[in-house]
Structure 1
């Protein structure tokens, strides 16, 4: 990346390359950074940088709707999961009803035989693949969305911070330039 304003494309990268750390500074460090920025640029350059940063914030706001898309996917997955669960439970109950109806109506059956009959049913071979085929994509999308959200939020935080920093530089421009001129005289 370039350390010259005219050769840079992204203001945030330009400021970081030229001045080092520009984010999460103390108030004193921020004042020194503002002074350095004001002394290295004229007011028109500061306004251009401010407008660029403000434009990137607006673009980020416009693309914010993309962050909501996973929620609609989550709602669809919850609906599918609920429907599959209800279907599995209904099939299990229907099967139990038919088995017990067949065995209990015709003959006397002992508690041990009922217990053995229930233990012989193994639905894990059906239930686990259904759960993983539904929950797997849900978990993958959730993890991807969390990483995407954290990255996007961190970038927007930095843009707002630089926006405020440049606004304060524009506001304090005359005062800092005046102080420096008096010191040089």
Structure 2
């Protein structure tokens, strides 16, 4: 069953379903693609395709700033989580220092020499909570960078496809004009 262009909702989806995808094609494949389009459609169909693809490109350009807001907010999350990690580190450090201060006040009679005090400081280990928060922040930042890459790719791919189809349709229109001139020339010479 061949699909009719007049019933298509999207030009790019129609072309992909009927003729296949353009990505990864060679120039020879594109030439065959263009010839198939020219043979299956009228000049009016090609003009309609061209106008719709150009309108979609214009729409993508006009709303491109909305796509950039997503990237801006993802970038904002980097600074938020970094600030949050530093804040949590300061809270944990201050809590441990307050605990140590209270411990020294309560046990000040038992701590007479500097060796006991240095033993207390060496037994206090802040690396566990700090390492966990550093790993947590790094994982969050990695997730944010992956999300940014996915968002950028999802924004870039549709507009790339539209430009590819725009070029193909413009070349198909030119080929249709050339074919029409050849047919008219043959008609004139055959008379």
In the TM superposition, what is the alpha-carbon distance from 1:151 to its structure 2 partner? 2.8
Q: Aligned with 1:68: secondary structure?
A: helix
- SS of residue paired to 2:63: helix
**Scaled by the length of structure 2, what TM-score is found?**
0.70
Aligned runs of 1:19-38 on 2, under 5 Å?
A: 19-38=19-38
CA distance in 2, matches of 1:138, 1:73: 13
Aligned CA-pair RMSD: 3.6
TM-score, normalised with respect to structure 1:
0.72
Using a 3 Å threshold, how does the CA distance of structure 1 residues 77 and 160 change in structure 2: closer, same or farther? same
CA distance in structure 2 between the partners assigned to 1:67 and 1:9 by the alignment: 24
> Is 1:109–2:151 an aligned residue pair?
no
Unmatched 5+ residue regions in structure 2?
A: none
Structural mapping, 1:22-171, within 5 Å: 22-88=22-88, 90-91=90-91, 92=93, 96=97, 99=100, 107-110=112-115, 113-122=117-126, 124-125=128-129, 128=132, 132=136, 138-171=141-174
Q: Distance in 1 between matches of 2:23 and 2:177?
A: 24
Distance change in 2, residues 1:8/1:34 (3 Å): same
Deviations 1:73-128 (A, max 9, x none): 3443333334334435555269649957x68x995312x74254243244644773
Contact 1:2 1:14 in 2 (8 A): no
